[in-house]
Amino acid sequence: MSENPSTWVISPSPHAHSGDSVQRIMLTVILALMPALAASVLFFGLDSLRLTATCVVTCILAEAAVRRLMKRDSGIADLSAVVTGLLLAFNLPPTLPTWMAVVGSLFAIVIAKQLYGGIGYNLFNPALVGRCVLLVSFPVAMTTWATPHYFTGPMDAVTMATPLGAWKTAWASGQAPAGFFDLFTTTSLLLGNRPGCLGETSVIALVLGGVILLWRRCITWHIPLAYFGTVAVMAFGFHKLDPVHNLPPVYHLLSGGLFLGAIFMATDMVTTPVTRSGMFIFGAGCGLITMLIRKWGGYPEGVSFAILIMNSLTPLINRFTRPRVFGHVRKETPA
């Protein structure tokens, strides 16, 4: 009620708030991404900082410029552009040219985010849109992987395939990937000492970030659990039917961008369902599409495409999993 006791102030729900602001949530996400950023610098050197700084700065400047043209507030204070820049950088190979990172960042902010109306209105995850645009536009640069190092030499001196890429390429040529399990051990996959995108290699660092997000209640466990569970079940089934041509479940779980996608991008509160049952459906759908692409698709990895496809289904999932209003009688369909 207002200061005038005879006047009532009416406002739309919700009337109870958690106390968290968008800025505070984004700060938590940034903090949760720091272990993976540190791991990327350790394994891929200063190019990791080059690409991360390029994406973050470009996203901030692009958001400020576009919103100025749209005669709106700059919007950069909520730090969502910083998160988009970090996530896009984490989805790029270490040797990607700087100008390509700029192109991806501009597309992520201008097209995938601001043209939809800005934060809270975008249908697709902006960072993943930027990555997929780069992947289809510059496939060679986006699939050139550097061998990890500890600042021991030029990173682009030696290139090799990612674990999923090496496995799929070898069998596509009709040959078994010699020495695969000796080269890519579960320890190397957990630590991150393997080729891949900047922020996807160290599973330990990503899990640590996920724990921070869960502790701060920025995400819930429903989507990651459904995502991991579906991938594990399908990988187990494929491996059981044909253990020679299919990787064991642990390799599907620890390889590629599964942990980065399941923890940090499939849980985006704007582009994913709001109901608990919807979250399970979303996560399971992501897992299903990821495994189908890994098994039969043209790319060895399918996390980005899986999440974007499920993003497009989020409005439908929300509609069909919406709980019935208390006291509301469902209308009977006429015979």
Q: Contact at 8 Å (CB) between 142 and 160? A: no
The neighbouring-strand residues paired with 146 are 159
Q: Which residue has the higher pLDDT, 63 or 13?
A: 63
Can you tell me the mean pLDDT for 143-168? 71
In which band, very low, low, confident or very high, does the pLDDT at 172 lie, cut at 50, 70 and 90?
Answer: confident
User: At residue 156, does pLDDT exceed 90?
Assistant: no
Q: Say which amino acid occupies 45.
A: G
Lowest mean pLDDT among 58-67, 152-161, 221-230, 302-311: 152-161
Q: What is the pTM of this model?
A: 0.88
User: At residue 154, does pLDDT exceed 50?
Assistant: no
Using alpha carbons, select from 88, 41, 28 the residue that is nearest to residue 60.
Answer: 88
> Based on the number of CB atoms within 10 Å of its own CB, is 324 exposed (0-12), middle (13-18) or buried (19 or more)?
exposed
User: At residue 126, does pLDDT exceed 90?
Assistant: yes
Q: Contact at 8 Å (CB) between 96 and 145? A: no
User: What per-residue confidence (pLDDT) applies to 152?
Assistant: 42
Q: What percent of the chain has pLDDT over 90?
A: 62
User: What per-residue confidence (pLDDT) applies to 51?
Assistant: 96
User: At residue 12, does pLDDT exceed 50?
Assistant: no
Encode burial over 160-192: b for 16+ CB neighbours within 10 A, e otherwise: ebbbbbbbbeeeeeeeebeeeeeebeeeebbbb
| E strand segments, the chain | none
Q: Which token pair is 99?
A: 């100008």
Using alpha carbons, select from 305, 301, 303, 304 the residue that is nearest to residue 169.
Answer: 301
Q: Is 262 helix (H, G, I), strand (E, B) or coil?
A: helix
Q: What is the DSSP letter of 146?
A: B
User: What per-residue confidence (pLDDT) applies to 33?
Assistant: 96
Q: Which token pair is 18?
A: 């958690």
In which band, very low, low, confident or very high, does the pLDDT at 37 lie, cut at 50, 70 and 90?
Answer: very high
CA atoms within 13 A on the CB side of 323: 7
Q: Which token pair is 69?
A: 């043209």
Can you tell me the mean pLDDT for 297-316? 93
> Based on the number of CB atoms within 10 Å of its own CB, is 240 exposed (0-12), middle (13-18) or buried (19 or more)?
exposed
Q: Which token pair is 234?
A: 């399908």
* Contacts (Cβ under 8 Å, ≥6 apart) of 136: none
Can you tell me the mean pLDDT for 190-211? 92
Q: Which token pair is 226?
A: 């459904």
Q: Say which amino acid occupies 56.
A: V
> Based on the number of CB atoms within 10 Å of its own CB, is 138 exposed (0-12), middle (13-18) or buried (19 or more)?
middle
Tracing tokens 């700087």 back to the chain, one arrives at 98
Report whether the peptide linkage leading into residue 14 is cis, meaning its omega lies within 30 degrees of zero.
Answer: yes
Q: Contact at 8 Å (CB) between 235 and 246? A: yes
Using alpha carbons, select from 201, 221, 78 the residue that is nearest to residue 149.
Answer: 201
User: At residue 119, does pLDDT exceed 80?
Assistant: yes
* Contacts (Cβ under 8 Å, ≥6 apart) of 120: 270
